[in-house]
């Protein structure tokens, strides 16, 4: 049995610190074999830098996924072609820097990871995510049946459709981007584990990881305003998925949602 831990959008320095602290603890206490982290908001809430990518990989993340803010830190453009474990969404046009998928050799066999971005209510005009992922899953299944998909997407409908579309073809489909964890974890009839949104790894007392008052002011006034990443204890959200590595079928999925304040030996609910 393979235990895969996925952690949702890491928000800024507080989120990074919590995830870097907790990956080794999760590996030790929960027997996690493989960790995937969404790092698209890890640089002050927007994008990811080469240094942050290195820090997350050193902490024990095997693969970093991303999404709509992947290009926000300019230095990531020359870096992304040098680090295949940092993914950008697969449904960019041909010749876009970086890659949207990877297969890694592990002690429990080959594990594939694909990052795809939805289009509904998203600003980036990307290629059709369903067609893009269909082609990649077909190619990847000739290498391994163990495939994890991060679908970075605004709407529940697009994420659920993606999960159902891939049922029986991949091990798990978990959504990101909304920073709000859903409670619909399940295993579909074909054996694919699903969670519509993993939630974020970011400050617990916040609006999606940002300071509360500026966000409320933005809604009250309708005017643009700076909204810094919030501080304080972090809620670390994601999913722990058990997969039969011989068939790629998921046997269990449970949500992770725990508070980490950096002082206790263990995270708590």
**CB of 40 vs Fe ion, minimal distance in Å:** 5
In the list 3, 159, 169, 177, the residue contacting Fe ion (rule: CB under 5 A) is: 177
According to DSSP, the residues that pair with 250 across neighbouring strands are 243
185 lies in the site for Fe ion, by CB under 5 A: no
Smallest separation, CB 67 to Fe ion (Å): 4
> Which residues are designated catalytic?
69
In sequence order, what E strands does 20-161 have? 34-38, 63-65, 101-106, 109-117, 147-152
Rounded CA gap, 128 and 6, in Å?
Answer: 24
Chain center to CA of 20: 15
Cα–Cα distance, 41 to 10 (Å, whole number):
6
CA atoms within 13 A on the CB side of 165: 18
Residue 14 interacting with Fe ion (CB under 5 A): no
Residue 67 as a binder of Fe ion (CB under 5 A): the answer is: yes
89 binds Fe ion per the rule CB under 5 A: no
Which CB atom, from 22 or from 70, has the smaller least distance to Fe ion? Answer: 70
How big is the chain by its Cα radius of gyration, in Å?
A: 17
- What is the nearest approach in angstroms of Fe ion to the Cβ of residue 3? 26
Q: Which stretch, 12-20, 60-68, 75-83, 102-110, contacts Fe ion (CB under 5 A)?
A: 60-68
Among the listed ranges 135-143, 170-178, 228-236, 244-252, the one in contact with Fe ion (CB under 5 A) is: 170-178
CB closer to Fe ion out of 68 and 136: 68
User: Quick check: 15 binds Fe ion (CB under 5 A)?
Assistant: no
Task: Give CA–CA dist 12/40, Å, rounded.
Answer: 10
Return the residue matching tokens 């697009």. Answer: 158
Residues interacting with Fe ion, by CB under 5 A? 67-68, 177
């Amino acid at each position: 049995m393979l235990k895969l831990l996925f952690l949702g959008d890491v928000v800024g320095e507080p989120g990074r610190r919590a995830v870097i602290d907790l990956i080794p603890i999760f590996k030790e206490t929960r027997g996690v074999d493989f960790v995937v982290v969404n790092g698209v908001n890890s640089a002050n809430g927007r994008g990811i830098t080469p240094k942050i990518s290195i820090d997350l990989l050193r902490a024990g993340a095997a693969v970093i996924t991303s999404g709509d803010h992947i290009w926000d830190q300019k230095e990531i453009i020359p870096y992304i072609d040098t680090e295949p474990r940092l993914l950008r969404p697969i449904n960019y046009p041909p010749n876009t820097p970086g890659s949207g998928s990877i297969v890694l050799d592990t002690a429990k066999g080959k594990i594939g990871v694909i990052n795809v971005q939805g289009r509904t209510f998203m600003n980036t005009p990307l290629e059709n995510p369903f067609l893009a992922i269909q082609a990649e899953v077909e190619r990847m299944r000739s290498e391994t049946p163990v495939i994890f998909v991060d679908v970075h997407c605004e709407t529940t409908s697009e994420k659920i459709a993606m999960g159902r579309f891939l049922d029986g073809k991949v091990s798990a489909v978990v959504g990101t981007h909304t920073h709000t964890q859903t409670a619909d974890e399940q295993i579909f009839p074909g054996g694919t584990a699903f969670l519509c949104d993993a939630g974020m790894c970011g400050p617990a007392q916040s609006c999606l990881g940002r300071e509360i008052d500026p966000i409320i002011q933005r809604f009250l006034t309708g005017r643009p305003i700076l909204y810094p990443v919030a501080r304080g204890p972090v809620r670390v959200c994601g999913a722990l998925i058990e997969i039969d590595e011989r068939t790629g079928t998921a046997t269990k999925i449970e949500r992770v949602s725990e508070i980490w304040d950096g002082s206790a030996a263990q995270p708590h609910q």
